[in-house]
């Protein structure tokens, strides 16, 4: 016997039909508790933290060794730049920066196999690369001219009383001398874009751009 051949009292048939219509029109309700929960998933030492507003998930990764910091010229991990004076010489997409430990004796290096031996751990990678931008080191051959906003005026360097050079001359906030026989340091005061710390090849990579730049490049943000 087929279902269409089953007979019901008329009032029962109407009630069943009404219930089916109501159920078909009903929309499933989302759980408010689920929407309110932040999404955090740990995978092999990398966390994925959800940003509800944009619907974009940003990976976060730690870097244990922060002695050698990469400062990228642009939000670009692959583009290289030939040196105009010698096109056979190619500049990578970044420069590296770090600070030597005071008094380190390179001739008596206890770890000759460590390329970063004698370097300090950098606690503030963004400030470290910001100093390179401030000194004009991040615009060789004008390759980052287009990042400089119209009307930008190079600022006049100001001394930081808490810092001084070895000869007692005043220094800027990065410890660079402001005076001496050569006069004020003309390199200080260049444009410094917004910078964000990401992770590339298990190294700290400081890249021009806002907090979203790491996700746009498909790389993790540096865990704070």
Name, in order, each residue with C-beta under 8 angstroms of 116's C-beta and a sequence gap of 6 or more. 65, 67, 68, 98
Does some domain include residue 11?
Answer: no
Whole-number pLDDT of residue 155: 76
Residues 4-12: contacts with CB under 8 Å, at least 24 apart: none
Residue 81 sits in which domain range? 61-222
Does some domain include residue 145?
Answer: yes
Torsion of CA 73, 77, 78, 81, to 10 degrees: 0
Q: What is the pLDDT along the chain (224 residues), one digit of tens a residue?
A: 444 444 444 554 555 555 555 554 554 444 333 333 333 333 334 455 544 344 455 699 999 999 999 999 999 999 999 999 999 999 999 999 999 888 888 888 888 888 888 899 999 999 999 999 998 999 999 999 999 999 998 877 677 777 766 666 667 666 666 654 444 555 578 999 999 999 999 999 999 999 999 999 999 999 98
CA distances, 129 to each of 86, 133, 173, 221 (Å): 26, 6, 13, 16
Whole-number pLDDT of residue 55: 45
Does some domain include residue 167?
Answer: yes
Does some domain include residue 92?
Answer: yes
Range 145-167 burial, b when 16+ CB lie within 10 A, else e: eebeeeeeeeeebeeeeeeeeee
Whole-number pLDDT of residue 5: 45
Count the domains in the chain: 1
Does some domain include residue 117?
Answer: yes
Does some domain include residue 85?
Answer: yes
d(CA 128, CA 99): 9
Does some domain include residue 42?
Answer: no
Does some domain include residue 56?
Answer: no
């Amino acid at each position: 016997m087929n279902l269409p051949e089953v007979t019901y009292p008329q009032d029962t048939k109407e009630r069943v039909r009404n219930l089916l219509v109501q159920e078909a029109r009903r929309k499933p309700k989302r759980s408010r508790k689920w929407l309110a929960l932040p999404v955090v998933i740990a995978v092999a030492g990398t966390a994925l933290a959800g940003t509800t507003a944009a619907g974009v998930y940003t990976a976060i990764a730690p870097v244990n060794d922060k002695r050698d910091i990469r400062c990228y010229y642009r939000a670009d991990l692959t583009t290289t730049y030939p040196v105009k004076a010698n096109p056979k010489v190619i500049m990578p997409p970044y420069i590296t920066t770090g600070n030597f430990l005071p008094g380190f004796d390179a001739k008596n290096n206890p770890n000759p196999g460590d390329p970063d031996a004698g370097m300090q751990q950098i606690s503030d990678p963004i400030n470290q690369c910001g100093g390179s931008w401030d000194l004009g080191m991040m615009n060789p051959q004008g390759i980052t001219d287009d990042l400089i906003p119209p009307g930008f005026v190079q600022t006049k360097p100001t001394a930081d009383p808490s810092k001084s050079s070895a000869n007692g001359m005043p220094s800027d906030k990065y410890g660079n001398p402001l005076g001496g026989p050569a006069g004020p340091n003309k390199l200080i005061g260049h444009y410094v874009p917004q910078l964000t710390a990401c992770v590339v090849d298990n190294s700290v990579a400081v890249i021009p751009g806002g907090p979203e730049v790491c996700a746009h490049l498909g790389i993790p943000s540096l865990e704070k």
